[in-house]
Structure 1
Amino acid sequence: MSVNTGDTGPLSAIGEHRIRMTGQEAPLNLHTMLQLCAAGELRCSEKTRRPSATTVAAVGSQLADGDFYLHDPIASFAWPLIIQAGGLATIDGGRLKLTPKGRTALRRPPAEVIRGLWQRWLTHAVIDEFSRIEQIKGQRARNVLTSAKNRRQTVAQALASCQPGEWISVDSLFTTMRRKRLSPTVARSEMALWKLYLIDSQYGSLGYDGYHRWEILEGRYTAAVLFEYAGTLGLLDLDYLHPTGARSDFHDNWGGDDLDALSRYDGLQAIRLTALGCYALGLTDTYRPPTDDKTTAVLKVLPNLDVVATGTLSPGDQLLLSGYAEHTADRVWTISAAGLLSAVDTGRTLEDLATFLAERTDHELPSSLTTLIDDITRRATRLTDLGHARVIECADDALAALITRDPALRNLCRPIGDRHLAVPLEHELKFRRALPKLGYVLPRQTTP
């Protein structure tokens, strides 16, 4: 097939055309997402787990080549959901915070992390992708939609059958999926189709003959998976237009003439399976990045603890630096003891900083920095968090000694001074049950 080339970056105007080589930008965007989570910059709903509008805008502004469209978020909406589904971040107080698995991902090869994210997303996605096709109403009615998990896996199977490195038009893929019976069936039954509609639940119902064609339901769902998730993760290069007027297969439906597009994914024209996609789909066992693994020296660390950017830093690298150092000038970050202590307090490790700086400089790190890192590392290991505990006051030191020496109680508490005991919360119930055998009881706290 013939494919036109286009500029990178978000597409905004009707009639414009883009080709995005997502395999190169996805690893950069993954790094940025993890750093945004580490900085506590992303907010998601505790109830729906969807990102807020402010978060979507913040992610879009940091993506390597921007989102696919200028005013209709796709990748910037998908990334917070993908990170959650992969177990790399969880919502804490309305903000996405890195999990231990997420912090480990910061040190792993991006391709390995992306492969894990795709495989995890297939079975643990946060939302049903079909819900993003807002023009089709009635989706929330009971017993209407099939299992999204099964649909996802069907689309993944269809992707795995594509020829690596070769463009295939979306319509050709649709034809192949139908021929091979790889249909991600959307509606549970014929009755369920009557509950789905455009514009009006009666006249625009998809239950009418010809109103629920494969391209309208299964095709649009497939396009959502390809564009918003496989494309975002770098599994596919994308050839796409502005969605307005890109497809006319819904115009025969009642109300279709009133819509510019049936979905934000209507502009997707063709896809090409990337090397990263082959690795994520399990078609190959190894993955070799398209560029040399050696990171270009883009930083200079001065003895006064200033870090100067001498080249171009990715958004993720800038976020990482700002997590440890103060951004004091346009291309300068200043490291200090207070900044490093603050970073450790938020869960960052100084080893990650040292590795990051060593990989992006062409000189040895100054002794002033290594000495400071060693000193802060030593201080950070002098205190240990033993978790929450209930503090109990005894009437006298004799009773405290009696309890701490009792065979049934001594492993359930720790002495604090002469008359106080600390009982870890996980041992409190056993502690209360053992006390009566010693002839004592711990009264429950009462609210005044």
Structure 2
Amino acid sequence: MSAHTGGTGPLSAVGEHRIRETEQEASLNLHTVLQLCAAGELRCSEKTRRPSAATVAAVGAQLAHGDFYLHDPIASFAWPLILQAGGLATVEDGRLHLTPKGRTALRRPPAEVIRQLWQRWLTHAVIDEFSRIEQIKGQRARNVLTSAKTRRQTVAQGLASCPPGEWISVDSLFTTMRRKGMSPTVARSERALWKLYLVDSHYGSLGYDGHHRWEILEGRYTAAVLLEYAGTLGLLDLDYLHPTGARSDFHDNWGGDDLDALSRYDGLQSIRLTALGCYALGLTDTYHPPTDDETTAVLKVLPNLDVVATGTLSHGDRLLLSAYAEHTADRVWTISAASLLSAIDTGRNLEDLTTFLAQRTEHELPGSMTTLITDVTRRTTQLTDHGHARVIECTDDALAALVTRDRALRRLCRPIGDRHLAVPPEHELKFRRALLKLGYILPRQTTP
């Protein structure tokens, strides 16, 4: 295997080669994407659940070392889908919002979250990965494709057969999967093969003999799952090229000569199952993350409530700080009561901030900071939202007292001042019935 990787960022040039170790960056990226989601910066279609182009660009700009390719989003496209499939985020009014499970994930070890995300993807994926191989047309016709869930789980079986920590070429993996009967069959039938095509539905049909080789359908699907989802989650280290000209196994198909590549995944050369991958696949029961000194002692909290970055912060760390504090200078964030209350109002938890600061500073938080956090925490408990209620006005204090002292009615309403009552919507019907028994009636509201 060539040792020349051509850099560490996204691959952009034809012929360029990259070896990408994904394990640590996946943990960083999980934190970053969750923070982007918590900030309400990600948009997805409510119908297809796919991320918008602006969201893909926003995610790609924040990923550790960037996406795999500069001009063809893979990880930045996958992350919003993975969060949805894992139940960590849901689309509301076109934006991704963290679910309670997603907010809990912010405080859990990344490996545990990634393991659950992979397992959920196998059974609850948002899309059929084969749809990302756009050069193969006819996929939307009826009764053409097999169950994506079954295909996906077959690929996972093939992945689990890889030797941990050792590079294996994708072609060797393809051979192993075929030999052991782990074939993620794409087309439902021979008739379905005729509906799939390249360029032209007649001349380019994959139904012709020799035009639907395993590498073209099952192989491309396998590569899509491996690179876009297993690779994004850090289950695999990746050895890859630019897809242009990387494979020629489709050139004999009509129209194949006109294509630079059959898919964006054609450049995948070899994979290496990581320790995180073994854990996510259930091959090991425990996971010990590599030591990462960059996540410790990178902040200093000053008595004036400034938080100063003294080391390198990940994109996720910057997003978290900006959620709780005002970014007042290049490496300075200022925390105030207003900034903390604003964060809480958007669903943030002060415990997340204090845990974050404790993990990334050498010294205890100054007294001014702990006092501020204690004061803001106290303020958050001094008001209680009891939900919506119908407000009833009584003609005098005596009637209000009569209602609130009645054995049946007092459980269905709350007094507001001397002459008003609050009746929760779920108790309104019972309140009206009990009021009738007391000898009174509440007139129905008329719609103007």
TM class, shorter-length: over 0.9
Q: Any residues of structure 2 matched to 1:32-71 within 5 Å, and which?
A: 32-71=32-71
Name the SS for the 1:194 alignment partner. helix
The percentage of aligned residue pairs carrying the same residue is 87
**Further displaced range: 187-196 or 361-370:** 187-196
Code of the aligned partner of 1:141: A
What residue number does 2:81 align with?
Answer: 81
**How far, CA to CA, are the matches of 2:150 and 2:429 in structure 1?**
44
Question: Post-superposition shift, 1:92?
Answer: 2.1
Question: Post-superposition shift, 1:398?
Answer: 5.5
What residue number does 2:3 align with?
Answer: 4
What residue number does 1:254 align with?
Answer: 254
Residues 4 and 212 (structure 1), Cα distance of their counterparts in 2 relative to 1, 3 Å cut = same
Query: Cα deviation per residue 1:312-339 (whole Å; 9 max; x = unaligned)?
Result: 1000000000001111111111111110
Question: Post-superposition shift, 1:361?
Answer: 1.2
Question: Post-superposition shift, 1:435?
Answer: 6.0
Code of the aligned partner of 1:124: H
**How far, CA to CA, are the matches of 1:100 and 1:45 in structure 2?**
21
Query: Cα deviation per residue 1:251-274 (whole Å; 9 max; x = unaligned)?
Result: 111111111111100100010100
**How far, CA to CA, are the matches of 1:443 and 1:192 in structure 2?**
65
Question: Post-superposition shift, 1:418?
Answer: 3.9
Q: Does 1:360 align with 2:360?
A: yes
Code of the aligned partner of 2:3: N
Question: Post-superposition shift, 1:224?
Answer: 0.6
Code of the aligned partner of 1:47: K
Q: Any residues of structure 2 matched to 1:110-121 within 5 Å, and which?
A: 110-121=110-121
Mind listing any 5+ residue stretches in structure 2 that lack a counterpart? none
On the 8 A contact 2:122/2:149 being kept in 1, the answer is yes
What residue number does 2:291 align with?
Answer: 291
What residue number does 1:327 align with?
Answer: 327
**How far, CA to CA, are the matches of 2:226 and 2:436 in structure 1?**
64
What residue number does 1:313 align with?
Answer: 313
What residue number does 1:154 align with?
Answer: 154
What residue number does 2:275 align with?
Answer: 275
RMSD: 2.1
Question: Post-superposition shift, 1:386?
Answer: 2.3
Code of the aligned partner of 1:42: L
TM-score (normalised: structure 2) = 0.94
Question: Post-superposition shift, 1:120?
Answer: 1.0
What residue number does 1:189 align with?
Answer: 189
Residues 161 and 446 (structure 1), Cα distance of their counterparts in 2 relative to 1, 3 Å cut = farther
**How far, CA to CA, are the matches of 1:434 and 1:124 in structure 2?**
48
**How far, CA to CA, are the matches of 1:171 and 1:116 in structure 2?**
28
Q: Does 1:203 align with 2:208?
A: no
**Further displaced range: 190-199 or 170-179:** 190-199
Code of the aligned partner of 2:289: P
How many residue pairs get matched?
A: 447
Residues 289 and 402 (structure 1), Cα distance of their counterparts in 2 relative to 1, 3 Å cut = same
On the 8 A contact 2:294/2:312 being kept in 1, the answer is no
Question: Post-superposition shift, 1:428?
Answer: 4.7
**How far, CA to CA, are the matches of 2:362 and 2:230 in structure 1?**
36
**How far, CA to CA, are the matches of 1:326 and 1:16 in structure 2?**
41
Query: Cα deviation per residue 1:219-263 (whole Å; 9 max; x = unaligned)?
Result: 111111000000000000000000011111111111111111111
Code of the aligned partner of 1:308: V
**How far, CA to CA, are the matches of 1:231 and 1:444 in structure 2?**
62
**How far, CA to CA, are the matches of 2:318 and 2:145 in structure 1?**
43
Query: Cα deviation per residue 1:12-41 (whole Å; 9 max; x = unaligned)?
Result: 000000011001100000010111111111
**How far, CA to CA, are the matches of 1:19 and 1:249 in structure 2?**
23
Question: Post-superposition shift, 1:185?
Answer: 1.3
What residue number does 1:24 align with?
Answer: 24
**How far, CA to CA, are the matches of 1:303 and 1:52 in structure 2?**
42
**Further displaced range: 377-386 or 237-246:** 377-386
Question: Post-superposition shift, 1:292?
Answer: 5.2
Residues 440 and 306 (structure 1), Cα distance of their counterparts in 2 relative to 1, 3 Å cut = same
Code of the aligned partner of 1:192: A
What residue number does 1:337 align with?
Answer: 337
Name the SS for the 2:140 alignment partner. coil
**How far, CA to CA, are the matches of 2:285 and 2:419 in structure 1?**
62
**How far, CA to CA, are the matches of 1:274 and 1:441 in structure 2?**
71
Residues 294 and 238 (structure 1), Cα distance of their counterparts in 2 relative to 1, 3 Å cut = closer
**Further displaced range: 377-386 or 388-397:** 388-397
What residue number does 1:213 align with?
Answer: 213
**How far, CA to CA, are the matches of 2:10 and 2:317 in structure 1?**
22
Residues 198 and 432 (structure 1), Cα distance of their counterparts in 2 relative to 1, 3 Å cut = farther
Question: Post-superposition shift, 1:425?
Answer: 3.8
